Amino acid sequence: MARARRATLTGERTSFIVADRRDFRSLLATTRAVVLTADELTLAEKKFGPIYACRLPLFVLDHEQRRGYVVWDASWVGGALKLRRTGSDWEVATVSDWIT
């Protein structure tokens, strides 16, 4: 316990994503995100109740890692995004979105 860091309450929202963690290695998130496997999500929901995690059924980058396409699904809302790297930043354009 001596090495444990103090927990702090914050208004910052946490995004839960079900995906392969390797897809996020080189990304610098601007908000707090937790990437889980499907099994980890199942265990977390047993312990904490419903977690409306976002799934990425499709996440592809070209060989040069300059362009990409993402399909996302958060159960009641989802869509598709087109990614383009300009320098060290990514531009994100909405291709489609849906809500139920």
Residue bearing the bigger pLDDT, 53 or 11: 53
Has residue 27 got a pLDDT over 80? Answer: no
Q: Residue 29 falls within a domain, yes or no?
A: yes
Please state the domain count of the chain: 1
Report the alpha-carbon distance of residue 22 to residue 86 in Å, rounded: 22
Arithmetic mean of pLDDT, 88-97: 93
Report the alpha-carbon distance of residue 51 to residue 26 in Å, rounded: 25
Q: Residue 22 falls within a domain, yes or no?
A: yes
Domain span at 92:
14-99
Q: Residue 86 falls within a domain, yes or no?
A: yes
Arithmetic mean of pLDDT, 35-42: 95
